[in-house]
Amino acid sequence: MIYTHEEEHGVLGLCGLNDAEAKPILLCSCHDNYVRLYDLPTFAERGKLFAKREVRAIQIGPAGTGLFFTGDATGQITVWKLDAELKKQTTSSSSS
């Protein structure tokens, strides 16, 4: 099965990982200096991260840690961690 989503800001990099509930998430860095997090396969936007410049590299950490790393055009490397509690709050607020 194939799913598609058009990203209007142009894509620089993609990376996938699973959240704390083992649900797939796509990380998508774009030319507008954002990294968007999408639930798969729906492409529902789960959140976005802002960088000072384009994020040119995304890499996931060890399995099960929720860690991922970004590198932007300024040379800055950032370590991120998915927050399981944020997911639960987002799910609760979107179902009301």
Q: Give the pLDDT score at 85.
A: 53
| 28-56: b (≥16 Cβ within 10 Å) or e | bbbeebbbbbbbeeebeebeebebeebbe
Kindly report whether the peptide bond that precedes residue 24 is cis, defined as omega within 30 degrees of 0: no
The per-residue pLDDT for range 67-84, each reduced to its tens digit, is 999 999 999 999 999 876
Q: Give the pLDDT score at 1.
A: 59
pTM of the model: 0.76
Paired tokens of 19: 């959240």
C-alpha to C-alpha distance for 92 and 58, rounded to whole angstroms: 28
Cα 15 off chain centre by: 8
Q: Give the pLDDT score at 32.
A: 92
The per-residue pLDDT for range 23-49, each reduced to its tens digit, is 999 999 999 999 999 999 999 999 999
Class of domain 11-95: mainly beta
